[in-house]
Amino acid sequence: MLFNSIEFLIFLPAVFLLYWFVFNRSLKWQNFFVVFVSYIFYGWWDWNFLLLIALTSFCSWLSGVWMGDRDGCPSSIRGLRGHRLFVMVANIVLNFAILGYFKYYNFFVESFVHAFHSIGMTVHPQALKIILPVGISFYTFQALSYSIDVYRGHIKPTRDPVIFFAYVSYFPQLVAGPIERATNLLPQFQSPRSFSYPEAVDGCRQMLWGFFKKMVVADNCAVAADKLLNGSGNLSGIALWVGMFCFSIQIYGDFSGYSDIAIGCSKLFGVKIMRNFAYPYFSRDIAEFWRKWHISLTTWFRDYLYIPLGGSYCSVPKQVRNIFVIFLVSGFWHGANWTFIAWGLLHACYFLPLLMLNRNRKYTGVVAENQNLPTWTEFVQMSVTFGLVLLAWTFFRAPDMAHAFSWLASMATFKGGLAPLFDGTLRLTGLRLILFWVAGMVACEWVNRRGLHGLANMPQQKVLRWSIYLLLFFIVLIFKASRQAFIYFQF
């Protein structure tokens, strides 16, 4: 079920009323209701994949029980030395096997064929028509973090399967994150929740802002980006620059918009989930960008991969290795295509000089903290960082490596000059109106950059405040682009 659908507008208030006025008398039944409606929410897309998320949830829950209760383990496992490690590794292997089959099987088959073809051999392995389950990368990582945290002793395993199934399948963040941690979300399902009017109001504000970023900014930018970049082998450099600018705004507005809707929606149910974006395009270097972009994923890789490899507290060669490992894995997480791996590799190259010069933690606060506008130096830093990110998005958006290098060559040489600005190519995109919405989004988020979302700090005057709400509401109704699925559903 899409957030930007009529079905969700009916689903949400119905769930809210039942959650607080029918099932609030019993924590057990309230958690069961969360699981029930979350499975309806997920199954609305394809009921066939409910068994898959149930299997992931059950295996991860059972692994926690077995790690926490040696006597409850099967004798074949209990007799092994280090049975806790065995159980954790077995669960990780199982979940990655499921994820790998659905997401990477055909990628490895095609790479296998190309590798043998390059040495003059022809093979014909069987490729499969595999449908990628929505959200599988997100809920798999969420389930795995639980097993790892139980093994490390960071959290006690829960013996209640309903609580654990609610943790994995919680519908606001089920299909595109944030990727929650058991240490934060699980205890909230283990204790009674209370309704907070101020939190609910702020949640509605955050949802409204998320809908604006998704349906007005991102979806309109998507229309422009698709017109400019789909089949753009002969487009000029300037058209490609504009197309990639639109895509850069699209992917931010789309994904951070989803996160705002998810976080705001969760506040309605008395559950706090982690922040996923902190205005990353206001970053002054790449290190700051990665502390603010897709925070739940970057911190997941930091805690479960980067730090166990030694992090930054090891020899320089190992630090370099760790940086490349973390970014390459991040690229591979995003999709089964060499373009995503190249995207991760390029960001590793961006990040490496900052690490070597010990400048990767230079910017940890809010830009222009005590000022209304950035300094000239900060403006240049943000512009350069955005430009580097935009160039990297070229690999992310391109269908294959050949297109990516072709686009970059045209962008570097400004092939075609300024002709597209005058021959109507760019006017087809409705660029002026798009830039107006982008400017509005940037202005609101700049003003509220110290807050958690673009409407965090509203005027105290009730009339003015509600005028802003109504204006945004009607802008979403009138200027929304054609309904599109959230871009991160495919990852």
Q: pLDDT by residue (tens digit) across 149-175? A: 999 999 999 999 999 999 999 999 998
**Residue 347 designated active-site:** no
Full-model pTM? 0.91
117-137: pLDDT as tens digits: 556 656 555 655 667 788 889
How is residue 104 written in tokens?
């990477």
pLDDT digit string (tens) for 299-351?
Answer: 999 999 999 998 888 888 899 999 999 999 999 998 878 999 999 999 999 99
Task: Encode pLDDT of 181-226 as tens digits.
Answer: 999 999 999 999 999 999 999 999 999 999 999 999 999 999 888 8
109 confidence band (pLDDT: 50, 70, 90) = low
- pLDDT computed for residue 8 by the predictor: 92
Active-site position among 334, 347, 403, 453? 334
User: What pLDDT score was predicted for residue 146?
Assistant: 95
> How many CB atoms within 10 Å of residue 428?
11
Distances (CA, A) of 485 to 1, 82, 226, 374, 446: 10, 45, 14, 35, 27
Please answer whether residues 420 and 414 qualify as being in contact, where contact means their C-beta atoms are separated by less than 8 angstroms. Answer: no
pLDDT surpasses 80 at 281: yes
Mean predicted lDDT score pLDDT of the chain: 88
Percent of the chain with pLDDT over 90: 63
SS3 of the chain: the string is CCCCCHHHHHHHHHHHHHHHHCCCCCHHHHHHHHHHHHHHHHHCCCHHHHHHHHHHHHHHHHHHHHHHCHHHCCHHHHCCCCHHHHHHHHHHHHHHHHHHHHHHHHHHHHHHHHHHHHCCCCCCCCCCCCCCCCCHHHHHHHHHHHHHHHHHCCCCCCCCHHHHHHHHHCHHHCCCCCCCCHHHHHHHHHCCCCCCHHHHHHHHHHHHHHHHHHHHHHHHHHHHHHHHHCCCCCCCHHHHHHHHHHHHHHHHHHHHHHHHHHHHHHHCCCCCCCCCCCCHHHCCCHHHHHHHCCHHHHHHHHHHHHCCCCCCCCCHHHHHHHHHHHHHHHHHHHCCCHHHHHHHHHHHHHHHHHHHCCCCCCCCCCCCCCCCCCCHHHHHHHHHHHHHHHHHHHHHHCCCHHHHHHHHHHHHHCCCCCHHHCCCCCHHHCHHHHHHHHHHHHHHHHHCCCCCCCCCCCCCCHHHHHHHHHHHHHHHHHHCCCCCCCHHHHC
